[in-house]
Structure 1
Amino acid sequence: MQSPFFALVYRLRSTLRWSGMNALQSEDVAQHSFGVALIAQALCAVEQEVFHRSLPTADILAAALLHDASECILTDVIAPVKKYSVEVEQAFSHLEQVAEKQLRNTLPNALQPMYEQWFQRSGEVFDYVKAADKLDALCKCRQEVRRGNQEFALAASQIESSVRVYADRMPSVAYFIDHFLEAFDHSVDEYRYLK
């Protein structure tokens, strides 16, 4: 039998995010993963070109694409539920690790070690993925609020606070905020590229 790994991860296109929230524009986990990878790539480029610091960009991008892969099995659960209590947060973390391991175990043996490193939840790679994850969530919330959806206002405020923590210790996150974040608040009409 062939490995179902990629077929399962591909199902992230059918796994909606922000459950329980009235989003004006729905978002699936695959779209979110693309956004996280795009922002992670930007953070790596800024570190390299602006701050002259080399990062394992390929590993960060792979980890960004797969950071929510367990949700093809578990679906998306919003952060306030996952973080309801320390016990619930630990239980969800354990459940995600079990799902990730089961998912990785569907790969051919030769590929499992490579993919295992991209599922690690600590270290430099994880820090950049987590920062990009928070930035992408903030961009989504700000876009919803800009469209008049106040349901995302509290989430935007809370996520912005956690993004600021990353910005305090990661220069590329601060740079992204200073040079790119506000552009997400504008409509496409403001960025007509053919003038």
Structure 2
Amino acid sequence: MKSHFFAYIFRMRFIQRWALMRNTAPENVQEHSHQVAVLAHALAVIRNECFGGSVDAGAVAVAALYHDAGEIFTGDMPTPIKYMNPAIRTAYKDVEADAARRLLDMVPPALQGAYAPVLEERDSETAALVKAADKLSAYIKCLEELKAGNGEFRQAAEQTRAALESYGLPEVQYFMDTFLDSFSLTLDQLK
């Protein structure tokens, strides 16, 4: 069986994010997914090392790598539209599930058991960490845009930070307290 799965996955670099906003630095889904994987891994490690967790940090990182893979078919739906009302949100969740099934159907049957958990189903702990990492990535993007003088991201930054704080996850607060200020610094200030 020939499979187009990885050819599609590698097309994530063509899906642009933040379509409704002027960006000083464009971002695509592939680079965003890498950032979310790094952040999700960090959150899992922080949970395990600082808060007594026992989550598989590697599995969380892999789930994060694929968390937006369905956007290969759907594109990136801007958050204000995706959450405009419950009907749109429900319909978009159905579209996302269909896109994940399409991708999983491309995986050879012998490998589907390994890819199903990262494309379709996530345990609640992994899902919460990936969601928090996704939101953290968005907040970091906002900080970087604000640092570049792009005030268009000010409200998005405020809303995204409020969402992060509302999660009540100690590992998110730890990350924000320990690492977040660095993202507002210039390269010379990081020395």
Is the TM-score greater than 0.5? Answer: yes
- Cα 1:9/1:45, change in 2 over 3 Å: same
**Match in the other structure for 2:11:** 11
Give me the TM-score of the superposition, normalised by structure 2.
Answer: 0.95
Give 3-state SS (helix, strand or coil) of 1:67's partner: coil
Return the offset for 1:148: 1.1
**Match in the other structure for 2:145:** 144
Residues 45-97 of structure 1 deviation map (CA, whole Å, 9 limit, x = unaligned)? 21222223211212211110000000111111110011111101111110010
**Match in the other structure for 2:93:** 93
**Match in the other structure for 1:158:** 159
Work out the CA distance in 2 between the residues paired with 1:189 and 1:34.
Answer: 25
- Cα 1:112/1:28, change in 2 over 3 Å: same
Give 3-state SS (helix, strand or coil) of 1:3's partner: coil
**Match in the other structure for 1:177:** 176
The amino acid that maps onto 1:174 is Q
Deviating more after overlay: 59-68 vs 48-57: 48-57
Work out the CA distance in 2 between the residues paired with 1:122 and 1:56.
Answer: 11
Q: CA RMSD in A?
A: 1.2
Percent pairwise identity = 37
The amino acid that maps onto 1:131 is A
Work out the CA distance in 2 between the residues paired with 1:73 and 1:9.
Answer: 10
Stretches of structure 1 that go unaligned for 5 or more consecutive residues are none
1:1-195 aligned within 5 A:
1-118=1-118, 119-120=120-121, 123-166=124-167, 168=168, 170-192=169-191
Give me the TM-score of the superposition, normalised by structure 1.
Answer: 0.93
Work out the CA distance in 1 between the residues paired with 2:9 and 2:70.
Answer: 8
- Cα 1:165/1:121, change in 2 over 3 Å: farther
The amino acid that maps onto 2:105 is N
Deviating more after overlay: 150-159 vs 131-140: 150-159
Work out the CA distance in 1 between the residues paired with 2:128 and 2:44.
Answer: 12
Return the offset for 1:2: 1.8
Work out the CA distance in 2 between the residues paired with 1:31 and 1:18.
Answer: 13
The amino acid that maps onto 1:117 is P
